[in-house]
Structure 1
Amino acid sequence: MGFVIRWVCALILLAATYNPTDWNYVAWARSTYETNLSMVVMIGLVLLVGYIVYLRATFRSIGLFGMILILAVVATFLWVLFDQGLISLDDPTVNTWIAIFALSVVLAVGLSWSIVRRRLTGQADVDDVDE
């Protein structure tokens, strides 16, 4: 259940930043930055904090190679779905949602990897601590 929560939070973060509808930060910021710059900056910083948390944890747990590997697995899964005729890639709106889904899976795996690794191997990850 913990992975699902991390994945949903990553999906919300990515979709709140940009999605093909008008309900996203990028569209809202473009339309209101002249009249409401302080809110645009504040919400942008809140989103930035979310990205920093996810990206820092992901880079520390699986690194760039792990991110590319997870993205390759997700892309191959999508390729199988396309090859079997279960999804179509003709609609740019659907493609955007697929990209948001794929990136959210990468971020969720990165945030959850230390927990999964500890359960599989019994080894705990320890951050460098200066004392």
Structure 2
Amino acid sequence: MGFFLRWIFAFLLLAVTFNPTDFNYVRWSMNNYATELPVTVLMGLILTIGYIIYLRATLRSIGGFGMFLILAVVAALLWVLYDWGILALTNRSLNTWLGIFSLSCVLGIGLSWSLVRRMLTGQADIDDVDE
């Protein structure tokens, strides 16, 4: 359940920032920054904090190469679905949602990697502590 919640929050973070509908931060801020500048800045800072948390944890746990590998696996899965005729890539809206899904998988796995590693190996990760 822990991984699923981390993935859902990563998906929501990305989807709230941008998605193909009219309900996202990018479109809202472009339409309302003149009249709602303080709210636009506040929401932007909250989203930035969310990205910093996810990206910092992901980079510390799996690194850039691990992020690339996870994204490559998701891309290969989408390629297989396309090759089998299950997935058609002609819909731009669907392609955007697939991109959000792919990036959320990278962030969700990155944030949960310590839990996955502990379950697989029995070894716990700890942060470096200066004494």
TM-score (norm 2): 0.98
- Could you tell me which residue of structure 1 aligns to residue 44 of structure 2? 44
Matched, 1:122 2:122: yes
2:127 partner amino acid = D
2:20 partner amino acid = P
Count of aligned residue pairs for this structure pair: 131
| 1:65-92 Cα deviation digits (max 9, x unpaired) | 0000000000000001111111110011
The Cα shift of 1:111 comes to 0.4
| 1:20-59 Cα deviation digits (max 9, x unpaired) | 1100000000000001100000000000011011001100
- Note the residue ranges of structure 1 that are not aligned, 5 or more in a row: none
Alpha-carbon distance between aligned partners in 2 of 1:6 and 1:85, rounded to the nearest angstrom: 31
The Cα shift of 1:126 comes to 1.4
The Cα shift of 1:124 comes to 1.2
Matched, 1:79 2:79: yes
Q: Percent identity?
A: 63
Matched, 1:103 2:103: yes
* RMSD over aligned Cα atoms: 0.6
TM-score (norm 1): 0.98
Matched, 1:13 2:9: no
- Note the residue ranges of structure 2 that are not aligned, 5 or more in a row: none
The Cα shift of 1:110 comes to 0.2
| 1:80-131 Cα deviation digits (max 9, x unpaired) | 1111111110011110000000000000000000111011111111111112
1:106 partner amino acid = V
